[in-house]
Structures are given as structure tokens and as C-alpha cells.
Amino acid sequence: MKSKILVTIKFLIIFLMLLEYGAKTQYLYIGLAIIFLGITIGILAIQEHESNNFNIRPDIKENCKLVTTGIYTYIRHPMYLAVLLSMLGVAVIYFTYYQLILFICLLVTLLVKLFYEESLWKCHSSAYNEYLQNTKRLIPFIF
């Protein structure tokens, strides 16, 4: 149930952020570059998964495999980073305080989801504990 709530909140925030509440700013190209970076990271992450191994909920699927190759060599949650970067780009393009508040809410939601998913993986796989030692959560070499 917790997983469904977190995913619902995430998509609700994304939907609200995609509504055009402000005029486009002079930072259109910077915002588009950030969105492009986010999409690229998302594509790199998806490419590392087998088709039946991908899940938008943090729940651990039956017979799932821990992915540690490609972009997952550097960060454990590239899809979360992809969402955050893409929506940061949107917030830059349509900057308002409303967008900023929504982005902070999205960040908090994804961090809760991230820590919840990691707690599930720790219980599911002993290999995950070793993986924790060699990677960062969202930002390579930092966090």
C-alpha cells in the first residue's frame, strides 16, 4: 500500500508541475538541456533492465534481478535521478514559487520512496549490501 501511495503522489506532483502556471522564462534552453539530461539518464537506466525486471513501484518483484551494470555501476537509483532532473528542467522553464514548492515535494517523495526501496532490497538480497558499499544513491561519488 505504501508503494502505491508514493507512486500516486509522485505522478500527481509531476502532473501539477506540467501544468503551465507561469510564463516561460529566459532560461528555456537551460531547462531543455536539463530535461534532455534527465531523459538520457532514464534511457540508460531502462536499457540495463530486462523487460520483466522493471518496476515503477519500489516493491521487489518476484524473481527480480539486482541490476549493477551500466549507469547502475555509479548510482543505485538512476530513474529517480532522471525524474528529478527532468522535472527540474520543467521548473526552470516555468519558474514560479509554486513550481519550486512542487519540486521540493517531489524531491521529498522520491527520497522517501528511495529509502523505502533500499530497506526492501536489504531484506531481499545479501548482494545488495555489497552493492551499497560500491555506489551512491543519486549523485555519483557524492550522495
From first CA to last CA, the distance across the chain in angstroms is: 28
To which residue does cell 558499499 refer? 133
In which band, very low, low, confident or very high, does the pLDDT at 22 lie, cut at 50, 70 and 90? low
Cβ contact 30:37 at 8 Å: no
CA 44 – CA 132 distance, rounded (Å): 20
Mean pLDDT of 33-46: 96
How do residues 43-87 score in pLDDT, each as one tens digit?
A: 999 998 876 667 777 777 777 788 889 999 999 999 999 999 999
In which band, very low, low, confident or very high, does the pLDDT at 89 lie, cut at 50, 70 and 90? very high
How do residues 96-116 score in pLDDT, each as one tens digit?
A: 898 999 999 999 999 999 999
Percent of the chain beyond pLDDT 70?
96
6 vs 26, residue with greater confidence: 6
pTM of the model: 0.90
What DSSP string runs through 105-136? Answer: HHHHHHHHHHHHHHHHHHHH-HHHHHHHHH-B
Q: How far from chain centre, in Å, is Cα 46? A: 12
Q: What residue ranges do the domains of the chain occupy?
A: 23-134
pLDDT of residue 9: 94
Which residues partner with 136 through β-bridges? 75
**Per-residue DSSP letter, 60:** P
Task: State the CB neighbour count (10 A cutoff) for residue 42.
Answer: 19
